[in-house]
């Protein structure tokens, strides 16, 4: 069918070229499994001989028995050599992968400047390399590097490069906007021209240097491309690659193309967040479709409308991509926000309820003090449940001491807490490489004997913001903590002129929320492990 789109994921190769992203072989194996569950058709794992991590990955990935085609990456043979003696091409064949992507030059400027060879030799390099892959029964994908720049500079040569790969038997010809500087109208016009010249199926590979990678990919598909290349969350060099988390739902929901099954599409949000945890990169809250704020509503008029019909302020149903609607509550919110949020939690509330008005005033008072509940859903839920008498006291702080010592050039912290749990007084002490880390360790140590599942909760992020900068070191601070059980994440807030006290408030809320939802905690061994976000705080 002409509306079937082949999804080629290069998170494990091109995505790792993004600043701050480094994946171990174990990380890459976990991500490959998650991508396979999402239903992508090709998973590009890297170059099977370029480094020890990739070598290990290609050795171990065979045991996963992926449904997707594992794809190796390489380049055309070296100039003035033979393909069957090229070490990179030989490693690809020896790895046993069913498919391979070779990058080759399609811009005459690059042939002369980067390769420092002739236009004719570049064509021979392309032909020989793809003929070699086909002789070895490997599905061959040609990534025509800098194609759009090359076409605009010398269209006849750029097209001759594609024809040479086609003549050698390439299964896909992928047009690359490597520098990310082409506009959607240019993409559409050029792909349309190429489509008329070639019989080999076309693909598109775009970069996001002009914030147009997604738009350019959609334009290419409209012009006839049938393979989309990109990465989860748009990871990649410089400004990133085309974001598959936006491309897939745009094509499938908006444009009537078929990329994955509807059920697989519903796993898009969890896939994006899982991979962000593995990569240890925070997702932008406003990321389309899969971001935490993608379907969040704050303005009272908006909330009032979506309570009547969500289509008033949502372009799709969030569940189609596995996300969910969120109602934000702040001093700007109206009664509709409170009512909607409370009803979402199963609380009996309505506009005429005096309790609602009291909660509204309480929230406005707290936000005036510096609390921010729109970024702390878990603290808000605890506040609402407390107001409706639904929360029982799980533990109570009796005392807290904090010792900070600088010794031999290093700073160490020790927290001593006395808490009452289930009628028993528990006195514990714990060290940490920062005061908040020590607090977290001490509180967990006190509670774990009563709530063993608390070991499955991890602190993923910690932020401090000064509220009243004019007060200098005596200023109030707001602490936001993000916690995760690797299936769900939640955010809590604390405010005080003492950063330790603010941190304690947010930490206690995080633990209370986790204990309230212990049945949701999954302790399975295959969950990712993130780096503790409270180091040195």
Domains held by the chain: number: 3
Q: Average pLDDT of 306-333?
A: 77
The predicted pLDDT at position 387 comes to 79
Q: Residue 337, Cα to own-chain centre: how many angstroms?
A: 28
Q: Average pLDDT of 6-31?
A: 94
- Looking at the domain assignment, is residue 262 inside a domain? no
> Looking at the structure, do residues 383 and 403 belong to the same domain, yes or no?
no
Q: Write the CATH number for 250.
A: 3.20.20.70
Q: Average pLDDT of 132-160?
A: 97
Last residue of a domain, one of 387, 420, 454: 387
Q: Average pLDDT of 451-461?
A: 82
- Looking at the domain assignment, is residue 338 inside a domain? yes
Last residue of a domain, one of 326, 352, 387: 387
- Looking at the domain assignment, is residue 14 inside a domain? no
> Looking at the structure, do residues 346 and 449 belong to the same domain, yes or no?
no
Q: Average pLDDT of 411-435?
A: 89
> Looking at the structure, do residues 232 and 208 belong to the same domain, yes or no?
yes
pLDDT-derived band at 530 (thresholds 50, 70, 90) equals: very low
- Looking at the domain assignment, is residue 32 inside a domain? no
- Looking at the domain assignment, is residue 421 inside a domain? yes
User: What percent of the chain lies above the pLDDT cut of 90?
Assistant: 57
The predicted pLDDT at position 536 comes to 35
Q: What's the pLDDT tens digit per position in 193-251? A: 999 999 999 999 999 999 999 999 999 999 999 999 999 999 999 999 999 999 999 99
pLDDT-derived band at 324 (thresholds 50, 70, 90) equals: confident
- Looking at the domain assignment, is residue 345 inside a domain? yes
Write the DSSP string, 223-260. Answer: HT--EEEEBGGG--STT-B-BHHHHHHIIIIIS--BSS
> Looking at the structure, do residues 300 and 402 belong to the same domain, yes or no?
no
> Looking at the structure, do residues 356 and 484 belong to the same domain, yes or no?
no
> Looking at the structure, do residues 233 and 191 belong to the same domain, yes or no?
yes
pLDDT-derived band at 74 (thresholds 50, 70, 90) equals: very high
> Looking at the structure, do residues 366 and 510 belong to the same domain, yes or no?
no
Residue 343, Cβ neighbours under 10 Å: how many?
A: 14
What range does the domain containing 478 cover?
395-520
Last residue of a domain, one of 355, 387, 419: 387
- Looking at the domain assignment, is residue 525 inside a domain? no
User: What percent of the chain lies above the pLDDT cut of 70?
Assistant: 87
Is the pLDDT at 451 greater than 80, yes or no? yes
Q: What is the dihedral of CA 449, 450, 456, 462, to 10 degrees?
A: -100
Q: Is the separation of the CB atoms in 318 and 268 below 8 Å?
A: no
Q: Average pLDDT of 391-396?
A: 80
pLDDT-derived band at 2 (thresholds 50, 70, 90) equals: low
Q: Is the separation of the CB atoms in 380 and 329 below 8 Å?
A: yes
> Looking at the structure, do residues 350 and 481 belong to the same domain, yes or no?
no
Q: What's the pLDDT tens digit per position in 176-202? A: 999 999 999 999 999 999 999 999 999
Crossing angle of helices 499-516 and 377-387, rounded to 10°: 70
Q: Please state, rounded to an integer, the average pLDDT across all residues of the chain.
A: 87
Q: Average pLDDT of 96-123?
A: 96
> Looking at the structure, do residues 151 and 227 belong to the same domain, yes or no?
yes
The predicted pLDDT at position 523 comes to 38
Exposure string for 435-471, b = 16+ CB within 10 A, e = fewer: bbbbbbbbbbbbbeeebebbebbbbbebeeeebeeee
> Looking at the structure, do residues 361 and 469 belong to the same domain, yes or no?
no
> Looking at the structure, do residues 319 and 220 belong to the same domain, yes or no?
no
- Looking at the domain assignment, is residue 403 inside a domain? yes
> Looking at the structure, do residues 369 and 515 belong to the same domain, yes or no?
no
Q: Write the CATH number for 417.
A: 3.30.160.270
């Amino acid at each position: 069918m002409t509306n079937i789109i082949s999804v080629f994921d290069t998170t494990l190769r091109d995505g790792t070229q993004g600043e701050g992203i480094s994946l171990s072989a174990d990380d890459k194996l976990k991500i490959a499994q998650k991508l396979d569950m999402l239903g992508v058709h090709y998973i590009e794992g890297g170059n099977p001989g370029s480094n020890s991590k990739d070598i290990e990955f290609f050795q171990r990935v065979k045991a996963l028995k992926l449904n997707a085609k594992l794809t190796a990456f390489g380049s055309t043979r070296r100039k003035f050599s033979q393909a069957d003696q090229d070490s990179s091409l030989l490693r690809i064949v020896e790895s046993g992968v069913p498919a391979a992507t070779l990058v080759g030059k399609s811009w005459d400027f690059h042939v002369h400047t980067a390769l420092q060879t002739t236009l004719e030799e570049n064509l021979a390099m392309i032909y020989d390399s793809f003929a070699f892959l086909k002789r070895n029964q490997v599905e061959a994908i040609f990534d025509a590097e800098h194609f759009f720049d090359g076409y605009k500079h010398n269209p006849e040569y750029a097209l001759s490069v594609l024809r040479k790969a086609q003549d050698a038997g390439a299964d896909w010809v992928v047009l690359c906007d490597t520098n990310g500087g082409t506009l959607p109208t240019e993409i559409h016009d050029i792909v349309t021209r190429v489509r008329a010249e070639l019989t080999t199926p076309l693909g598109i590979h775009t970069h996001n240097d002009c914030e147009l990678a997604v738009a350019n990919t959609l334009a290419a598909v409209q012009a006839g491309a049938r393979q989309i290349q990109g990465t989860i969350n748009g990871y990649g060099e410089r400004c990133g690659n085309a974001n598959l988390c936006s491309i897939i739902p745009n094509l499938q929901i908006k444009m009537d193309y078929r990329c994955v099954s509807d059920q697989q599409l519903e796993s898009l949000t969890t896939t994006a967040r899982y991979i962000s945890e593995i990569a240890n990169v925070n997702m932008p809250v406003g990321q389309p479709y899969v971001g935490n704020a993608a379907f969040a509503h704050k303005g009272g008029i908006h909330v009032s409308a979506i309570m009547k019909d969500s289509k008033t302020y949502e372009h799709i149903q969030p569940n189609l991509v596995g996300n969910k609607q969120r109602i934000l509550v702040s001093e700007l919110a109206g009664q509709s926000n409170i009512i909607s949020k409370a009803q979402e939690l199963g609380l009996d509330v309505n506009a005429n309820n005096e309790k609602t008005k009291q909660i509204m005033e309480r929230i406005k008072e707290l936000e005036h003090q510096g609390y921010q509940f729109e970024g702390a859903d878990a603290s808000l839920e605890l506040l609402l449940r407390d107001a409706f008498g639904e929360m029982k006291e799980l533990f109570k702080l009796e005392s807290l001491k904090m010792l900070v010592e600088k010794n031999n050039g290093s700073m160490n912290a020790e927290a001593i807490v006395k808490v009452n749990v289930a009628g028993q007084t528990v006195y514990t002490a714990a060290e940490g490489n920062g005061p908040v880390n020590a607090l977290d360790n001490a509180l967990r140590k006190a509670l774990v004997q009563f709530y063993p599942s608390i070991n499955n909760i991890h602190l993923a992020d910690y932020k401090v913001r000064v509220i009243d900068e004019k007060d200098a070191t005596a200023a109030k601070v707001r602490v936001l903590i993000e916690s995760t059980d690797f299936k769900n994440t939640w955010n809590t807030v604390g405010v005080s002129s003492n950063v330790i006290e603010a941190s304690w408030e947010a930490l206690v809320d995080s633990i209370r929320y986790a204990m309230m939802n212990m049945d949701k905690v999954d302790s399975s061994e295959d969950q990712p492990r993130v780096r503790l976000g409270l180091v040195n705080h």
